[in-house]
Amino acid sequence: MANFIPAGDGTHTGWKSFVQKVGGNLAGMVIPNIGAFIAWGLLTALFIPTGWLPNEELSSMVGPMIINLLPILIGYTGGRLVHGQRGAVIGAVATVGVIVGTSIPMFLGAMLIGPLAAWVLKKIDAVLDPVTPTGFEMLIGNFSLGITGMLMAILGFLGIGPTVNAFSDVLGNGVKVLVDTGFLPLASILIEPAKILFLNNAINFGVLAPIGAVEAEETGKSIMFMLESNPGPGLGLLVAFWLAGPKILRGSAPGAIVIHFLGGIHEIYFPYVLLKPIVVLAAIAGGATGVATFAATGVGLVATPSPGSIFAYMAMTPPGNHFGVLLGIALSAAVSFVVAFFILKATRSGDDAADLDASKAKSQAMKTGDAA
């Protein structure tokens, strides 16, 4: 088939696939459980002492949910990815060992021990299954899971819990230093280009959300949830592509704006940047502006907004933080728009050929009935 749109980055070096894969697995443990995160986030936003409707009794659910329920769900889902339902069960069991070994939300620990426990059980099942006599499947299956689960929970309690706890402390302190010294906006230099390479979920759910959850558990909110998920930079980019981009991209930009900003599916703007990679500079500038604004106004979100839609942002914003959050989103969109607009204008000269191709393509698309 004719490959008419030049791929910005068509080659796949091994490391990128690898990072995507590892990150994809991390995200794969979190994303199916986002609904539970939202339930917890809403309970937190509403009922904690600094919330909309402070209520001591209802807010008593907040702690157990983030300390126990969410890590167990992550460990369960991580186990399921490796070894189906049996893996899920042992993942949940082993996660409890990690949880009680520490006092912080053990997302990272759950992401480690859930799949690990399932993997161990998978190996054990591979040995036991062929030698299990008929009629003993249930007995052996239940006890192999039970005994292995107990051992993995002990391993989690003694080994993984404390290790991850120490690691989280270092990570948390590092982030705190970045925030205190004002260097946090520099994170956008890494985050924005990585997003475009489809590492968005890996970064947000694999790295930032676990750090943010620890902070949110202590203070009720965290800026970590906003580093990757801010829909502002993408909005600015898409508007710039709409007004000044190559002609072929202009038609689809308004639809993409709605899907990105309201629907929260950021992936929709990545292809635009991949076609004009230099525009990533605009995303970085916009992202850094947003982070700087969030930090300067001292705002945060109660939980990770997923998907990264303006609606999810508003729902996860604690009382009193709306101005700073909206300002950060607006400024990041404005900065990324201005930078992208000038880059697109400045690099327009070479577009004549592309525009010719574009018009050809457009007529072809019309013929196939996909012009909308």
Q: Does 93 bind another protein (CB under 8 A)?
A: no
* Binding segment toward another protein, per CB under 8 A, in 50-58, 64-72, 192-200, 221-229: 192-200
Q: Would you say 30 or 213 has its CB closer to another protein? A: 30
Q: Does 49 bind another protein (CB under 8 A)?
A: no
CA-to-CA separations, 144 to 28, 69, 88, 127, in angstroms, rounded:
26, 25, 14, 11
Binding to another protein (CB under 8 A) within 301-320 occurs at 307
* Position among 144, 252, 289, 317 found at the interface with another protein (CB under 8 A): 252
Residue 265, both tokens: 């599916």
Residue entry with tokens 């909308």: 372
Terminus-to-terminus CA distance in the chain, angstroms? 22
Q: Would you say 220 or 307 has its CB closer to another protein?
A: 307
345 Cβ contact list (under 8 Å, min separation 6): 244
* Residue among 25, 33, 163, 297 that touches another protein (CB under 8 A): 25
Q: Does 268 contact another protein by CB under 8 A? A: yes
* Dist CA 298 CA 222 (whole Å): 9
- Out of 144, 188, 200, 321, the only residue in the binding site for another protein (CB under 8 A) is 200
**Which distant-in-sequence residues (6+ apart) come within 8 Å of 137 by Cβ?**
none
**Residue appearing with tokens 């036991």:** 128
Q: Does 81 bind another protein (CB under 8 A)?
A: yes
Compare residues 25 and 297 and give the one whose CB is closer to another protein: 25
State how far the Cα of 59 lies from the Cα of 39, in Å rounded to an integer.
Answer: 12
Contacts of 139 (CB under 8 A, 6+ apart): none
If one asks whether residue 217 binds another protein (CB under 8 A), the answer comes out as no
# binding residues, another protein (CB under 8 A): 45
Closest to 278 measured CA to CA, from 227, 199, 344: 344
Q: In 144-161, which positions are buried (b, 16+ CB within 10 angstroms) versus exposed (e)?
A: bbeebbeebbebbbeebb
Q: Which residue number, 31 or 281, has a Cβ lying nearer to another protein?
A: 31
User: Are 247 and 359 a contacting pair, CB within 8 Å?
Assistant: yes
Looking at residue 350, what DSSP letter applies?
Answer: G
Q: Is 259 in the site for another protein (CB under 8 A)?
A: yes
Q: In this chain, which of 56, 57, 352, 370 binds another protein, going by CB under 8 A?
A: 370
CB of 49 to another protein, least distance (A): 34
4-12, 53-61, 105-113, 151-159 -> range binding another protein (CB under 8 A): 4-12
Should residue 33 be labelled a site residue for another protein when binding is judged by CB under 8 A?
no
Rounded distance, CA 39 to CA 26, Å?
21
- Provide the residue type at 307 as one letter: P
Smallest separation (angstroms) from another protein to the CB of 208: 16
Nearer to another protein by C-beta: 5 or 171?
A: 5
- Chain positions contacting another protein, by CB under 8 A: 1, 3-5, 7, 9-10, 12, 17, 20-21, 24-25, 27-28, 31-32, 81, 197-198, 200-201, 251-252, 255-256, 259, 263-265, 267-268, 270-271, 274-275, 307, 361, 364-365, 368-372
